[in-house]
Amino acid sequence: MTDPRCASVLTIAGSDSGGGAGIQADLKTFAAHGVHGLSAIAALTAQHTRGVTAIEVPSTDFLRAQIDACFDDFRIGAVKLGMLADARVIHAVADALELYRPPHVVIDPVMVATSGARLLQPEALDALRTRLMPLATLVTPNLPEAGLLLDFEISDETAMREACMRLRNSGANAVLLKGGHLPGNTDVVDLLADQSGIHIFRHARLDIEAHGTGCTLASAVAANLCRGLALDEACRAAGDYVHAALRGGYRPGRSDIVVLDHFGAMRDA
């Protein structure tokens, strides 16, 4: 395999001042997977393990300048998209992706923080659906996010399968639907829907309330794609990585919310 450090992964997402999610989690995940990480900050959050207290969105001109600088100098093997707060930002990112056409784009459609704070403005949903999803190699919603995208309640595994197919029919190339919010199961079931059908990934449910799992999963998939893994292999490995990082998680803040151990997960692999 070609040295993965020769290629870079770019995250376009929000900064988490608490260090557990967003750009900070993305860059830790890239480093743990042995790929070079780049970042373009699409939003600044005042945030800790207990919630988001303020959000500042830089100008789209400055965001585009960050993206252009990265593509001007680095061989980018994958792009991971996280928190894109409004329609203006989404259109700016879509314009850049249409110009540069990176090999892989992984979208974590961040809409609501674990704390319950709304991170995506409602009017941005249409821009996400129509501009970004058709450009994506993979979209990685959790159940509430998929429900918002589809206006569809997902209450069991059968509904998860239907949601996957609806998302693919709406323009997504492939969907990794995360089942952690599905109540009552001893296992967490994630479904990958791609051109070959449905792939099922199961992990034992951990009694842990954590911060940054969605960011980390999407970033791990992007890093694995950059390293040359096939999509189903990239998703399976990413799920295993997040599960291990959760098991090794720690509590740096004053709440009971766990932050993932991004590097320990790879040491234990």
Query: Which residues face 199 on adjacent strands?
Result: 192
Query: Which residues face 118 on adjacent strands?
Result: 112
Amino acid 268: pLDDT: 57
Amino acid 232: pLDDT: 96
For 152-195, the pLDDT digits (tens) are 889 888 899 999 999 998 888 999 999 887 877 788 899 999 99
DSSP element (H, E) containing 91: helix 87-100
Identify which has the larger pLDDT, 50 or 136.
136
Sign of CA dihedral 234, 208, 108, 64: negative
Question: Hey, how many other C-beta atoms are within 10 angstroms of the C-beta on 65?
Answer: 13
Question: Hey, how many other C-beta atoms are within 10 angstroms of the C-beta on 177?
Answer: 24
| Least confident interval from 30-39, 59-68, 103-112 | 103-112
Inter-axis angle of helices 22-32 and 213-226, nearest 10: 40
Cα angle at 79 between 257 and 169, to 5 degrees? 90
Identify which has the larger pLDDT, 186 or 244.
244
**CA distance from start to end of the chain:** 19
Rounded to an integer, the average pLDDT of 259-268 is 82
Identify which has the larger pLDDT, 95 or 172.
95
Please give the Cα distance from 21 to 123 (Å, whole number): 24
Exposed e or buried b per residue across 87-97, where buried means at least 16 C-beta atoms within 10 angstroms of its C-beta: bbbbbbbbebb
Structure tokens at 2: 């070609």
Rounded to an integer, the average pLDDT of 218-242 is 97
> Quick one: fold of 4-267?
UDP-N-acetylmuramoyl-L-alanine:D-glutamate ligase (3.40.1190)
Please give the Cα distance from 264 to 245 (Å, whole number): 7
Cα angle at 30 between 7 and 64, to 5 degrees? 70
Structure tokens at 205: 């449910």
Amino acid 121: pLDDT: 67
Q: Is the pLDDT of residue 1 over 60?
A: no
